[in-house]
Chains A and B, each alone.
Chain A
Amino acid sequence: MTGPLLEFRNVVKNFGGVTALDDFSMTLAQSEILGLIGPNGSGKTTSFNVLTGIYAPSAGQVLFEGQELTGVNPRAVYEAGIVRTFQRSRLCLSLSIYDNIMIGDTSRLVRGLWSNLISRRALEKQLDVTQRQARDLVATFSDHLADRMEQPVGALPMIERRRIEICRALISGPRLLLLDEPSAGMTHDETHQLMDDILDVRARGDGLSIIIVEHEMGVIERITDRCIVLSYGRKIAEGTYAEVAADREVQNAYLGTD
């Protein structure tokens, strides 16, 4: 591997007078797990939204595998191989688990009216393949959940919804997975299970890189290779979890100075 997988170069994002991301630069290596931490409002989710094309950056560049990915639309980001989960899980609650996960596989599905409505042979084949993949993916997390693929997502507890969100993100075989506060709204035990899940995903060894935004420091300590700490949109520290936890400026950002 030559260059980094992902690179932010001096990215700025302003909302009116508020600077949510201020001259933010970072790199991510192939198959690395990077933790993005910082107090509320420090720009973690904003950096995800800039990366996935929901917001265009006010200045700076985003490069993915050496290609310019600055200010393109979310679809182009997805097609480049970047997928995400959301802080408040954004699933289609009235749809089945199958349907929700298959939404993640858009790039491989036929799009034309003819093949969707009239001659449905290809659609039927894709349905079989995609449903089997979705089921296998869910089964790596929970066999119990894999038996309930035709139930609506709205009836499931939070941890199962997170798992489905992660499956929806993984089914297209992405290069980079962005996890936005996967432990939000879950109990201690559930968080623990989910960490195991994420490590399982990584252990599959297909070179997937992960960026994780998280408030639960136990999660960050256990699964990340490296951390970046943000405060008021600026990067204030970078290194392993032990290094940044010992950093005086990081402690001040979290606890305040006197």
Chain B
Amino acid sequence: MTNTPLLQSDRARPWACAGAVILAAGLYGWALLMAEETWQVLSLLILAVVATGVAIKTGFVRRVERDWAASETRLNRLAFAVLIALILVLSGAHFALLMISTVLLYFVASLGLNIQFGFTGLVNFAGAAFFGAGAYTAAVLGTMPMIPPILILIAGGMVAMVISLPLLIPIVRTTGHYAAVVTIAFGVLFRTFLEVNEVLGGPQGLMVNSMKVFGWDFYDAPSVGGLDISFYVNYALLAAGLAALVFTLFRRLERSWIGLHMDAVRLDETAAACFGISVKRTKIQAFLLGNLILGVSGALYGMMISFIAPASFTFSDSLLLVSIVLLGGVGNPWGSAVAAVIVVLLPEKLQLLQEYRFLLFSVLVMLVLLFRPEGILSRQLRNFFPDRRSDA
């Protein structure tokens, strides 16, 4: 965490810089999603790298962070509005909307991992398994018409949480590498189980029925004023809503006694225990809550892509989720958002990279750990009630 004093900004509009960044990010996102040619994508990438470098060197990042601390709610709302606007502007573009939704759902999943790893220090290399558990739950329950699909999302999270229960024993008893190995084993077991299980479609996988809200099927694309609107708009909007909801809960968790105790457990278990914090309870809360979030995002992801197979939820996919957390900045949700864009969008946009995407991410993670170990955006000091700051 960096030392950013949470002082009131002395400028007249303490949100102007950060607001401009949000609008620029929206515009940039639109350009990147619309870019077709490799040279366009490459020049946009170079632009991003140069802009980020300049922003870090000139202290602009600090300034934006200060803005954010000063008027957080306003800026969060602006970011959400820009996201919705971006979705609506792109309402005819299937592929762009699929990308946005995928980024959003990976972002939500990475928030789950951040509660485990970023707050509590629990390493989870089976993220894709819990994500997949949610998707498979959606596939199975989706065939039963009497279950409302919103409930299916929750059920996806519950199933992910329940299958993680056996892992609690090693997670609570061991630390660091040992716990990591156990989760790796679990992820591999999960995939093998799916592959040999005929009821769940075996290696070929399963169809997933689409989302329905009050009898309205998400695959019935609405048509507004004669314009064709992609059915992905529904999913993108729902994913945006889910992301906003989970983001809010994530922030509240961070800024609560539970979040404080998670930090204490990560930083010094013994000292935490000497001050009455139940290390066991804290770890269990973090692990289950994280897996619940992974499962919910997986369930919506399954409904959206409408076809799932064991090959989509492998160890490599778990590593991808972990690399979002590491790249973005451990414990910082905005960092994860940026990293989710990089990890999801980059290989899709640069098809020549598709083959090498894991190589690319490994190099990227190593570079970040070498030169900016706290991640692209470092975690800020806790500010329990940011909106009250002004009268303090």
Contact = CB atoms under 8 A, between A and B. Distances in A.
A77 B274 CA distance: 8
Contact of A152 (B257, B381, B385): B381
B382 A96 contact: yes
B6 interface: yes
A103 B253 contact: no
A152 B3 contact: yes
A148 B352 CA distance: 52
B256 to A, nearest CB: 4
Contacts of A95: 1, 260, 263, 267, 381-382
Contacts of B270: 54, 74, 90
B5 interface: yes
B274 A106 contact: no
Interface in B229-266: 249, 252-253, 256-261, 263-264
Contacts of B258: 111, 113, 116-117
A118 B252 CA distance: 8
A186 interface: no
A103 B264 contact: yes
A96 B380 CA distance: 10
Given A95-B381, A96-B381, A113-B258, A84 B273 contact: no
A75 B260 CA distance: 17
B88 interface: no
A52 interface: yes
B256 A103 contact: no
Contacts, number: 104
Interface stretch (B138-146, B275-283, B296-304, B309-317): B275-283
A74 B385 CA distance: 31
Nearest to B385: A124
Contacts of A116: 252-253, 256-259
7 contacts: A94-B1, A109-B257, A111-B258, A116-B258, A117-B252, A123-B256, A126-B257
A189 B32 CA distance: 61
Interface in A104-130: 104, 106-107, 109-111, 113, 116-118, 120, 123-124, 126-127
Given A95-B382, A151-B5, A75 B276 contact: yes
Nearest to B248: A117
Interface in A68-110: 73-75, 77-79, 83-84, 86, 90-96, 99, 102-104, 106-107, 109-110
Given A75-B273, A113-B258, A92 B267 contact: yes
Interface of A: 52-54, 73-75, 77-79, 83-84, 86, 90-96, 99, 102-104, 106-107, 109-111, 113, 116-118, 120, 123-124, 126-127, 150-152, 155, 168, 172
B268 interface: yes
Interface size class of B (residues with CB under 8 A): 20 to 34
A92 B263 CA distance: 8
B271 interface: yes
A162 to B, nearest CB: 14
Given A94-B1, A95-B263, A117-B253, A106 B277 contact: yes
Given A117-B253, A123-B256, A127-B384, A107 B276 contact: yes
A28 B285 CA distance: 39
Contacts of A83: 274-275
Contact of B249 (A79, A91, A96, A117): A117
Contacts of B381: 95-96, 99, 150, 152
Contact of B260 (A52, A54, A99, A124): A99
A78 B249 CA distance: 30
B276 A150 contact: no
B275 A120 contact: no
3 pairs of A and B residues whose beta carbons are closest in the complex: A116-B256, A106-B276, A74-B273
Interface in B1-54: 1, 3, 5-6
Contact of A52 (B252, B268, B274, B285): B274
Contact of A103 (B6, B252, B275): B275
A15 B3 CA distance: 42
Contacts of A77: 274
Given A74-B270, A86-B271, A155-B3, 16 more contacts: A75-B276, A75-B277, A79-B276, A91-B268, A92-B268, A93-B267, A94-B267, A95-B381, A96-B381, A99-B260, A99-B382, A107-B276, A116-B259, A123-B257, A127-B384, A172-B276
B1 A152 contact: yes
Contacts of A75: 273, 276-278
B384 A78 contact: no
Nearest to A96: B381
A207 B15 CA distance: 51
A116 B385 CA distance: 12
B86 interface: no
Nearest to B381: A96
B272 interface: yes
Contact of B274 (A74, A92, A109, A120): A74
Contacts of A117: 249, 252-253, 256, 258
B268 A90 contact: yes
B9 to A, nearest CB: 15
Contacts of B252: 116-118, 120
A150 B5 contact: yes
Nearest to B252: A117
